[in-house]
Each structure stands twice: as C-alpha cells, then as structure tokens.
Amino acid sequence: MRDSKIIDVARKANVSPATVSRVLNGSPLVTGKTKEKVLQVIQELNYTPNAMGKQLRSRKTMTLGVVVTDIGVAYNAEIIKGIENTANGLKYKILICDSQNEKEKELEFLSLLQNRTVDGLILVTPQLTDSEIFSFADEDYSIGIIGRQINHPFIPCCFTDNIRIGREVVQHLMEQGHRRIAYISGYADAPDSIGRQEGYREELESAGLTFIPELTDIGDFDEQGGYEAFKRLWADNQKFTAVFTANDEMALGVYKACAELRISIPESMAVVGVDNIRITNYVEPKISSVEQPLYAMGALLAEKLIDQMNGSVRAEQQLFMLHSTIMAKGSSVKGG
Amino acid sequence: MRDSKIIDVARKANVSPATVSRVLNGSPLVTGKTKEKVLQVIQELNYTPNAMGKQLRSRKTMTLGVVVTDIGVAYNAEIIKGIENTANGLKYKILICDSQNEKEKELEFLSLLQNRTVDGLILVTPQLTDSEIFSFADEDYSIGIIGRQINHPFIPCCFTDNIRIGREVVQHLMEQGHRRIAYISGYADAPDSIGRQEGYREELESAGLTFIPELTDIGDFDEQGGYEAFKRLWADNQKFTAVFTANDEMALGVYKACAELRISIPESMAVVGVDNIRITNYVEPKISSVEQPLYAMGALLAEKLIDQMNGSVRAEQQLFMLHSTIMAKGSSVKGG
DNA sequence: TTGAAAGCGCTAACAG
DNA sequence: CTGTTAGCGCTTTCAA
C-alpha cells in the first residue's frame, strides 16, 4: 500500500499543500474550519508526513548521534539514559554508536555530522584525542563531550570534579584513622586517573602528610589490573592500611588479591573505589565508592548542546563540572 | 562555511551531476579518467554527499530502530551489541529507544516506521502485546522481535528454547541428588516464566516425579520478588532442597532470604538462575545459571531482518530458536 | 560513456 | 487566512 502524501491530503480537502503543512505544524494562521477539514482527511487517508521530505526541506534531522566506548558498561548506559530522555523530551532521537574503543569507528561516526545524518553529536569518554576531535569542530558542527574536559570554544563539556573525588576519599580514609594510603590509578594518562591522584595528593599534603610515589601504582581500570597493582604494592613492602582505586573494577581486583593474601577487609585494609557500580553492594564487605551523577551529566549536556544547536548563545564555551558523592560502606568502615 | 553540493562538484569537474553521482556510488559506467577528475574535485571541495537528499531520493534511510525496555540491563545491552555490529557491517545505523517499560513510548517509536525515519524496527522483549504489534505489521513495514515468539508471517522472531532451559536445570539439580525442587517464576504471564516452568514440569515428570504446584511461586523477575517468593515457599513448610528461579535477579533475592533464614547454600539449598549475569560470579557461592546467546540473537535477527527488507524471500515466517548453556557453579554443586 | 530533466515529499516566500 | 511556486540535494530514467 502506497503511502499518501501531502498533495493527496490537499486535494481531497480542497486546500493547498501549504495549508496542510500549516495544520501539520500547528501554524496559528489556519481557520478552525479548514483545520478541521484537513485533520479529518488526514485521518481518512491515514496520512503520516514523510520524515525524509521534511528533513531535507527543513535541513534538520532532529537526531543526535551518541558515541560510547561500550554500551554494556553501566556507567555509559546511565549516561545514555540521561541523554535519551532529555533529547526525546525535546523531540530529538538518538543514533547510537558503540565504538568498542576503536578510534576508527568513532571517526567514522563523526562523518554523520558532515553528511547531516545527525544534527549534533555527543561523545562519551571517547578514545579520540583532543586534536582529532578539534579537526571536526566547526562553526557548523555541534559536538559535545561527557566525561572529559577539552578546550574548544564550540564544544560543551560535562565532567566530574576528579580532584574533589580524590580529596574526599582521602579525607574519609583519614577520618577512619588511616595515614598510609595507597592509590591505584587507571591508565596513567587518563584525566580521571590524573585528577583523582591530584586530589589524593592535595588532601594528603594539606593534612601535613607527604605524598609517597611508592604508594601509587597503575591498574588500567579493570579488575585484573587492580589485582596486579595491589600485589605489586604489597610485595614492595611499603606499609599501608588503605587503598584508593580510581574505579570499582580495580577495587574488585584488590578484593581478589586480599583474599589470596589473607588480608581482611576492612580490618587490615580499607578499600574505596569510584563509580559505585552495582556489584559493590553484593560483595562482602560492600565496597565504599563514589557515586557520580551520570544520568544528570547526560541530561545536562544533551540539553545544552541542543540549546546551542538551536542558535542560542555561543558566546563562550560551556563547561559543566558536577560533584560526586562518597558512599561509605563496609570496606572502609570498621564494624560497618 | 556552506557545504558544497553535487552540482558544485559537477561544474568544477566539467561533468554533470549524474556523473558525479555515478562516481560516488561506484557505477562501473564511468571512464577511468572522468572518475579520477571527479574524485579529485571531491577532495578539493571536501565534498560529502548530503544524507537527506540521498535518502529522500532513494527512499532508504539505512537505519534500523531498536526498542529496548531498559538499556541499562546487561541482557539488553548485549543484544543491542549484536544488532549494532551486524547492522553496521551491512551499512545500517541504529536508532535507539529506551522505552522504560512504557507501552506508550514503544508505540510512539513505532511511528518512525510509518514516517520512514527508519527502514526497519527491532523490538527487544517489548511491553506491547502481540495484537498491538500486529496493528503495525504490514507488507510495507519491517519489524522483528527478539526474546519472544509471535505468530505473524512478516515478523521474524528470535528467542531461546525456554522449555529446554527448564529441563536442563531440573536435570542438573536431579543429578546433584535433589528430588524436591521449587520453581520461582517471573511475571506469571511472561513467556519466559511459562516456558521455563513447562520444562521444569516435563523434566520432573519424565523422571517419574510429580509436579507439585505448592512448590512454585511468582517472583516478578526482580530481587525483591525472589526474596518474597522464597520466604513464602519456606513458610509454607513444603520441604525442598533446591530452587530454580526464572532469572538471576530472583536468585539474588533467594540468597538474601537464605542469609536471613540461616539456610546455607548449597549445603541445605541449591539455587539455579537464568541469564548468567555478572553478579552471579561475585557472590559467595557463585550462582549457577543458564547463559543465553544474547549477542548471537541480536546479530542473527538483525541480519535476517535486513535480508528481508532488501526484498529477499518472504515466503514463510522466520523463527529462530536458540539454545542456552547451563553453567554449574557453587550454588548447586556441593564442594564446588 | 555521459548529460538533461524529472522528481522523491515537504516547507516557506511571496502574493493575493 | 490561503494558494502558488520554487526549491532542499540527490538519483535515475531516457536520450544522445
């Protein structure tokens, strides 16, 4: 069954296509009577406006591209939800790209901006470097980033205050009586690793303690990496009573290492991670962690990007730094 | 900077737009020399074909819509990955809808098929009833379903063999010496609940045991529901030594209930769930579960739907029933 | 092998 | 308030 088009409706209702279009788009300049007639014919013909015709003519797809490194990670899924809900509320749809951490796939997806398949693009902690992203940033292309701060006048960013995360975790551990606190970072060059370590250091020093490089190691953000990093730290025989891992996956690795080494948590070793993933509440003891406002980050950035796309101000770059919340649980509170 | 269009390229290369289009689409009828010239101009002008123009003219968006009830659930994320990868390989893009279990949102998204925003739509265990879906099924609309079998000539379906899941779980539990096995279903009317219970019953009976209705309860597929169902079963004082929950969330609820009731797993109570979610390997003891080929389901259905969309056979309905694998772990194997 | 011309279905100027 | 008309950028007959 061939779809009917605007001209069919127009003819049957004895009006022009323009009038039908006006009715469809809620123009106030149509008489009640005409409008009713048109609406009725639309019903009779079961007419639906063709999106491609509309998009071509209006030069808008009402679609936002979203590039994520892995849709299966709860962190990303929550951000996507925030984006999606906000976008949908503003009549935008979401085109997803799970890049599987491949730069090439991310780059490929960016071309959807050029060919106007999407009106704007949100990158969630992409693999792409700043300069690769810059090469696409243009007066005419709307790009936003979540989970990383980059310095470009047209690119709004939304990220957490990593320094503050580091400070609060250390502060919490010090309140529990710890003085020698280890830090396991993710990838060495990841902003999240660096920022959290910076906060860790600042807080230690502002408490009059010294930052000891030997108490830090690198764990690549995954369970295995955390496991290995902890074992290295432990073997190094630096005494420490608490470890702060830059994410929860690595904290799980620490749990595994402690089990093998017969170190009891939290009695002999306090552990705090970041992200507050679900599993932290199912292991014994529950893992203290820092909860980031992921949904809010997605929602906020989507809103701001859409705003910007729709011509509002672009006077200065929009940077949004959100705060996280520490959730103290059994892994860092004795008798908790 | 205004994008250049096909006519700009044509003029600069001294050819017609038709020729440029031919080059762009790899038509074999273009001279090598002409082709080179055109390609060169395309480079110079940094020309990218406008997707909307192309889509309108060719009546194809190369986009697949995907409706999921919750993108944050690992089950769904894995299916989406299968769909996305396959679709991308065939040059299709993915438009996502997280319906949050709201029928209304699912229905709204279905309209993207009507207005030709997407070429086809995949529903992943939707809330919509069969008849609601049927009202959209049409020679002209391509819809596929994952996780549920529905009976319609144009709608390919991909789902797991739930009866077999039930039989294999019961068989495994019987091998471990259990004779009185309880079953906690999800929503009473969910095909997954029914199929798994059917398999449970069949296997019991084929082993010469009787199906005891008092040993079954309903847990709504979530942790709390599993917790409550187990407590009801236990309070009912029917003796049983094993419980099969229709998914892992409910198994987690059973763990909670057993902890409170001081029933030790697996010594006094064996537990088996379905889905093999990540948490099953982080609780103590690990939860035995049934792993479904989720990625494969997504990939398979995407492929078949795209095939069907591209005019291949539509002789008979395509039904794909995949098999799952039981993963026996500590919760059902003593000393495991 | 290439070009001319006619739309795909819609919206927006401009007239009336 | 409504109609006429001219495209949005592209592909695809049909002719040459």
Distance B38 CA to C3 C1' (A): 15
The whole-angstrom separation of Cα B333 and Cα B336 is 5
pLDDT attached to residue A314: 61
Higher pLDDT, B31 or A136: B31
In the 191-230 segment of chain A, residues within 7 Å (Cβ) of strand D are none
Across the interface, whether the CB atoms of A95 and B94 are under 8 A apart is answered: yes
Residue with CA nearest C6 C1'?
B57
CATH superfamily of A61-160+294-323: Response regulator (3.40.50.2300)
Residue with CA nearest C3 C1'?
B16
Q: B312 pLDDT exceeds 90? A: no
Report domain extents, chain A: 6-55, 61-160+294-323, 162-291
Of all residues in chain B, the percent with pLDDT exceeding 70 is 98
Q: Which nucleotide is nearest to A59 (CA to C1')?
A: D8
The whole-angstrom separation of Cα B196 and Cα B223 is 18
pLDDT attached to residue A278: 94
Kindly report which listed range (A215-219, A314-318, B125-129) carries the lowest average pLDDT score: A314-318
Local confidence band at B24 (pLDDT 50, 70, 90 cut-offs): very high
pLDDT attached to residue A83: 98
Entry pTM: 0.93
Q: Which of A1, A117, A252 sits opposite B51 (nearest CB)?
A: A117
Domains A6-55 and A162-291 share a fold: no
On chain B, the residues whose CB falls within 8 A of the CB of A114 are: 3, 48
Q: B73 pLDDT exceeds 60? A: yes
CA dist A185 to A76, A102, A243, A326, Å? 20, 22, 11, 18
Residue B3: both structure tokens together: 């994008």
Q: How large is the average pLDDT for residues B32-57?
A: 94
Q: B107 pLDDT exceeds 60? A: yes
The whole-angstrom separation of Cα B126 and Cα B146 is 9
Whether B17 sits with its Cβ under 7 A from any strand D atom: the answer reads yes
What are φ and ψ of residue A310, in 5° steps? Answer: -85, 35
The whole-angstrom separation of Cα B243 and Cα B249 is 13
Q: How large is the average pLDDT for residues A137-156?
A: 89
Dump pLDDT digits (tens) for B111-134.
Answer: 999 999 999 999 999 999 999 999
Q: Is B212 exposed, middle or buried (0-12, 13-18, 19+ CB in 10 A)?
A: middle
- Which residues, other chains included, contact B266 with Cβ-Cβ below 8 Å and sequence gap of 6+? B285, B330, B331, B332, B333, B334, B336
Closest by alpha carbon to A56, among B49, B172, B329? B49
pLDDT, averaged across chain B = 94
Q: B227 pLDDT exceeds 70? A: yes
Rounded to 10 deg, the angle between the B6-13 and B17-24 helix axes is: 110
Kindly report which listed range (A20-29, A208-217, B269-278) carries the lowest average pLDDT score: A20-29
CATH number of this structure's domain A162-291, picked from the four choices 3.40.50.300, 3.40.50.2300, 3.10.20.90, 1.20.1730.10: 3.40.50.2300
Dump pLDDT digits (tens) for A178-201.
Answer: 999 999 999 999 999 999 999 999
Closest by alpha carbon to B224, among B255, B250, B244, B259? B250
Of all residues in chain A, the percent with pLDDT exceeding 90 is 88
Starting at the earlier edge strand, list the strands of the sheet with A270-272: A216-218, A181-185, A242-245, A270-272
Whether A50 sits with its Cβ under 7 A from any strand C atom: the answer reads yes
Q: How large is the average pLDDT for residues A85-103?
A: 95
The two beta strands, A270-272 and B289-291, are: unpaired
The whole-angstrom separation of Cα B240 and Cα B182 is 6
Rounded to 10 deg, the angle between the B32-45 and B6-13 helix axes is: 120
Q: A128 pLDDT exceeds 70? A: yes
Q: Does B60 touch chain A (CB under 8 A)?
A: no
Dump pLDDT digits (tens) for A296-308.
Answer: 999 999 999 999 9
Handedness of CA B46, B48, B49, B52 (dihedral sign): negative
pLDDT attached to residue A313: 57
DSSP secondary structure of B53-103: HHHHHHT---EEEEEES-TTSHHHHHHHHHHHHHHHHTT-EEEEEE-TT-H
pLDDT attached to residue A219: 97
Q: Does B50 touch chain A (CB under 8 A)?
A: yes
pLDDT, averaged across chain A = 94
Cβ–Cβ < 8 Å for B141, B115: no
Q: B136 pLDDT exceeds 90? A: no
Q: How large is the average pLDDT for residues B281-298?
A: 97
Dump pLDDT digits (tens) for B137-181.
Answer: 777 789 999 999 998 988 999 999 999 999 999 999 999 999 999
The CATH architecture one would assign to domain B6-55 is Orthogonal Bundle (1.10)
Mutation choice for B interface testing from A58, A93, A95, A275 by most B CBs within 10 A: A93
- Which residues, other chains included, contact A108 with Cβ-Cβ below 8 Å and sequence gap of 6+? none
Q: How large is the average pLDDT for residues A85-97?
A: 96
Local confidence band at B246 (pLDDT 50, 70, 90 cut-offs): very high
Cβ–Cβ < 8 Å for A77, B77: yes
Residue B268: both structure tokens together: 């006094």
Rounded to 10 deg, the angle between the A162-175 and A191-206 helix axes is: 40
pLDDT attached to residue B332: 98
Q: Does B283 touch chain A (CB under 8 A)?
A: yes
pLDDT attached to residue B138: 73
Higher pLDDT, B137 or A143: A143
Closest by alpha carbon to B142, among B318, B320, B330, B329? B318
In the 160-179 segment of chain B, residues within 7 Å (Cβ) of strand D are none
Cis-peptide into A213, omega within 30 deg: no
Residue B124: both structure tokens together: 């992943």
Cβ–Cβ < 8 Å for A248, A192: no
